[in-house]
Structure 1
Amino acid sequence: MTTATAADYGWIRSTTSPFRYALESGYILVLVRGVSPARLLALAGAEPTGLCEGIDELIEQHDEDDGLYVLVGACAVPSEEGDWTLALALGRDSWPPGFMEALSAGTRAVSHSSNSGKPIEFFHWYENGELRTHFEWPRVRVGSTPDELNSLICEVGLGLTDEEISRADRKAAVFALAERLTGVRVAAELLTSTEYHVADMPE
């Protein structure tokens, strides 16, 4: 079982971080167990455009789209918890309606996101098509089991009180929370070296 905390994801704030562009432009990151990259893109209604090597190339393609499309890159990732797919959508802070329910049917899916303006950041945990826990500000949680992750939320360094949350690196903490639920470590090396299946999602 992973023991990830926010400290393990402090690298996302670095000036050389491969995730810095996503933080600045807005993104959604999802991890799902047992669903292939091609199947994930199909469920999102995205149009495949080919393959690319690493997040730098994914960012280049996003810039070339001039904001007409949301670019999604999906790849298979290893985990002790089984076969997982990671998808990163650049320039968007929410999936199409019904996507997460369909994606998580019979499995687990975890997603977090941020917009590119005044930070609006969301975390979602779905199990078997059901929203189990969702929050923006962790003190206010909804879903069928809104309190089930409370101990993990505290362990990763996020906290449940306004004072704790305001002191935390909330973005690094939700990366760690996603790892606790999936077993997948989203390392800088993973983002820069993996091959992505790329697709466009119209706005």
Structure 2
Amino acid sequence: MTLATAADYGWIRSSSFFAYGLEAGYTLTLVRGLPPAELFAVAGAAPRRTCAGLGELIDAHMEVLDGYENWPESFLAGAFTVPGEGGDWTLVVEFGGDLGTRPSLMEALSAGTRAVSHTSNGGKPMDFFHWYEDGELRVTFEWPADRTGSTPDDLNPLMREVGLNPTGDEDPDVDGKAAVLALTERLTGVRVTGELLAGAEYRTGEVPEEPVSG
């Protein structure tokens, strides 16, 4: 297990790419042992072109949005393989999408393995963390002290170590978003850096919006 803390992710506040994600809304998802092509198949995503770097992925994302006159009916997700704890992981980045927050999809993606995601919805200060294990949502929270899931307290020791307070007020000296990235690394063994995101070769898929039940 790595010993990452919020201090290891201070770079997110000086990264133009991460700033775009915070402004537009993003989801970053990590799934162990499931290659990008298989992950997209489970998500029902239509394969699209490969993007060389995060800048090209953002451009391709904008192209998808520009293809709709009104509300978009799909979003672009980019994925690549990265080594981590227990083997290879697929890291998925999306802007304005919700692949990493759909319960039924995350349950399917984490069947027999582990999946972790964290999000920001852009303009509103809403950020969520999700940890799934063997198809089960173990811990999820927006605020560290307000957790749900089947085992909501299982990450409390790790949360304290990365700088999150699972039982009370947040420390104003700790960057909560950076701490969530550190918590994600503790669970996956994957160190996410600006260089990693900027230089990765992204296999992309166009994910349809989830139908509205009525």
Shorter-chain-normalised TM-score: which range? over 0.9
Give the CA deviation at 1:66: 2.4
Distance across 1 between alignment mates of 2:101 and 2:56: 22
Q: Deviations over 1:162-181 (max 9, x none)?
A: 43355431111110000000
Letter of the 2:91 counterpart: L
Give the CA deviation at 1:96: 3.7
Q: State yes or no: 1:126 paired with 2:132.
A: yes
Letter of the 2:38 counterpart: R
Q: Deviations over 1:172-197 (max 9, x none)?
A: 11100000000000111110111111
Q: State yes or no: 1:85 paired with 2:90.
A: yes
Moved more, 150-159 or 165-174: 165-174
Q: State yes or no: 1:188 paired with 2:157.
A: no
Contact 1:44 1:96 in 2 (8 A): no
Letter of the 1:169 counterpart: D
RMSD after superposition? 1.6
Matching residue of 2:185: 179
Matching residue of 1:43: 42
The two structures have a TM-score, normalised by structure 2, of: 0.89
Give the CA deviation at 1:200: 1.2
Distance across 2 between alignment mates of 1:104 and 1:176: 20
Unaligned runs of 5+ in 2: 67-71, 210-214
Give the CA deviation at 1:97: 4.4
Matching residue of 2:118: 112
Give the CA deviation at 1:18: 2.4
Alignment of 1:19-34 (within 5 A): 19-34=18-33
| SS of equivalent to 1:191 | helix
Give the CA deviation at 1:81: 2.8
Aligned residue pairs total 202
Contact 1:40 1:103 in 2 (8 A): yes
Identical pairs, percent: 61
Letter of the 1:117 counterpart: G
Matching residue of 1:76: 81
Distance across 2 between alignment mates of 1:100 and 1:165: 30
Distance across 2 between alignment mates of 1:141 and 1:96: 17
Contact 1:30 1:87 in 2 (8 A): yes
Distance across 2 between alignment mates of 1:49 and 1:178: 28
Flag the 1:80–1:95 CA change in 2: closer, same or farther, 3 A.
closer
The two structures have a TM-score, normalised by structure 1, of: 0.93
